[in-house]
Structure 1
Amino acid sequence: MSRPSVETRARVLAAAAFLVLQVSSGSAADLSEGTRPATQDRVVSVTAFSLFGPKYLGAERYGPFGYPAVTIRRPDEPFALDSPDDSLGVPILDATQFKLGPVVNLRQGRNTSVDRRFAGLDRDPWAIEGGIFADLWVLPDQLRTRAELRHGLRGNDGFAIDLSADLFERFGAVTVSVGPRFGVLDAALAQRQFGVSPAASSRNGLFQPYRAAGGLQSMGLTSAVSYDWSPSWRTTLYGRYEHLVGDAAASPITRRLGSVDQLTAGLGVTYSFHANLPFIP
């Protein structure tokens, strides 16, 4: 998938549809006005992230991309403690130290628009992944562990598991987070992203056949720093480093046309406003 086009449009449409459904029956007022009618009982925060990173997992070539995010909270609640690389999820079970719910993610693909030398390889198209997430707060409002289990909505796709931990600290208007990341793929998805079938090897001519067995594929570190300029405006600096391991690192696709080291950096801008959402509990 071309991240600057397909992913951005899809995420924008998803977030826009979600926001319209949540806010269509309400009105909005800037938080900095200091007054809030009694019917405006929720705070909606809309974030636009602009990032620069690999064009696909394992890529050597980088480019810009972006995505939006939407969160809703009660007026007496602070910004939720989360990470910019969390997939879009809605908690169905929302306890103090444990959250559980469905999750949706967009996985970038790989094609000849990134590098013509991919011609003839088996298709690795972009995909919408659905699944479940679980957050466990080991230390409330300070240390969170998270697991996501997702599967592409195409029938012949595979499973991805993301494991993470984040340490959060608030210093007045500044919120800092940092933590490790681990990515696991099953054999079907590992083969799709990093394998080379005998037929693809014959068509392409650059790569020897390679069978990816799955397992741990990446490990890394994510960090973010947010600053609240006012109740309405926030900016976030974000960085992520990943190192490919296992079949992902050994793949001829990575060794010949990619890199085991992946860096992503970005800036997010958040605008928050009050809205009347009577159907939100």
Structure 2
Amino acid sequence: MRTLRDASLLLGWLLALTGPVAAVGLSVDDVVPNFIGLGVGSTTQWHGSRDRMVGAMPGARLKLQGSRFLEWYGPYMGLNLLDDEGWEAGPLLNLRLGREEVDDPVVAQLPEIGLGLEAGGFVAWHHVNLTGIPYRLRLGLMASHAVLGQTEGSQLTPYASLWLPLSERLFIGSGVGATWSDKNFMQQFFSVSPAAAEASGLPSYQAGAGFRQIYWWPGVLWRIAPQWMLGAGAYGQYLVGDAADSPIIRERGDRWQWTFGLGLGYLW
């Protein structure tokens, strides 16, 4: 079954950004409060799948000394080690669930991909504008590499996001990004070996390293009470390069991948 990483990241953004977005236009301090929340979402079963799944993911963020913080969204955990007003950087861990017990009868004949753990780091810069039209801009880069389990390869993800307040309670945001994957990851998820081709009926295929997707997401946050925030959003991925050319995608999947989510967070 495909990982809910994408759903959890979307829901995590919706929950974790309640603090920074609430600060825009309301305070001169870009303060991220402590929070705990739960997100529910619908996403695809595996990278490129047409079949869908529904799941729930917890989320939490703990403010540490100064500007440091610890965040946890389902399979993702990150620790910001910088005490800086504009910069964030630190280690990350990500649990990747892979591709198991899929509904598609042809893809089910391909080798299953089990649980795996990725480790890496992130660096980001953010700016809160409090003059004129207030906004919060964030630019960043995440990098990870497989360290345990069945997942393989490395990832690089540059991203950007922008949030605007419509009122003291309602905020809208959007973001874009792309993911580069190395040869090991691409071959694991998108290649078809001669043995797998014979078992599934798909043609043989060898995927190489490169950008595998671009993505875009819109989100809405509504502060329903001083300590409660609702979030809703969509996360659209478009597979490119060798990922899109794979017969797994061309014959059994879809280049467009959509995740939809709702999140509720308690702040303190």
Instruction: Please classify the TM superposition score into its range, dividing by the shorter chain length.
Output: 0.7 to 0.9
1:16-72: per-residue Cα shift (whole Å, max 9, x none)? xxxxxxxxxxxxxxxxxxxxxxxxxx9531110100111111111112112111112
Q: Which of 237, 259, 265 pairs up with 2:260? A: 265
SS in 2 for 1:229: strand
| 2:2–2:47 CA contact under 8 A, matched in 1 | no
| Aligned residue runs from structure 1 range 155-194, under 5 A | 157-170=152-165, 171-194=167-190
SS in 1 for 2:195: helix
Cα distance in 2 for residues equivalent to 1:251 and 1:148: 25
Report the residue type matching 1:101 in the other structure. G
* Corresponding position: 1:95 with 2:91: no
Q: Which moved more, 1:204-213 or 1:132-141?
A: 132-141
SS in 1 for 2:46: coil
Question: Normalization by structure 2: what TM-score?
Answer: 0.77
Shift of 1:245: 0.5
Q: Where does the alignment leave 5 or more consecutive residues of structure 2 unmatched? A: 9-31, 130-134
Report the residue type matching 1:186 in the other structure. D
Report the residue type matching 2:184 in the other structure. A
Cα distance in 1 for residues equivalent to 2:244 and 2:206: 13
| 1:197–1:211 CA contact under 8 A, matched in 2 | yes
Residue of structure 1 in register with 2:15 after alignment = none
Task: Output the aligned Cα RMSD.
Answer: 2.9
Q: Which of 236, 240, 248 pairs up with 1:241? A: 236
Cα distance in 2 for residues equivalent to 1:175 and 1:102: 29
How many residues in Structure 1 have an aligned counterpart in Structure 2?
Answer: 232
* Corresponding position: 1:53 with 2:43: yes
Residue of structure 2 in register with 1:128 after alignment = 117
Q: Which of 92, 95, 105 pairs up with 1:116? A: 105
Report the residue type matching 1:56 in the other structure. W
| Aligned residue runs from structure 1 range 1-281, under 5 A | 1=1, 44-73=34-63, 87-137=76-126, 142-154=136-148, 157-170=152-165, 171-202=167-198, 204-273=199-268
Shift of 1:154: 2.8
Q: 1:175 to 1:252 in 2, by over 3 A?
A: same
Residue of structure 1 in register with 2:28 after alignment = none
Q: Where does the alignment leave 5 or more consecutive residues of structure 1 unmatched? A: 12-41, 274-281
Instruction: Give 1 or 2 for the bigger CA radius of gyration.
Output: 1
Report the residue type matching 1:163 in the other structure. P
Percent of matched pairs sharing the same residue:
25
Q: 1:71 to 1:205 in 2, by over 3 A?
A: closer
Cα distance in 1 for residues equivalent to 2:157 and 2:140: 8
Shift of 1:246: 0.4
| 1:103–1:132 CA contact under 8 A, matched in 2 | yes
| 1:241–1:261 CA contact under 8 A, matched in 2 | yes
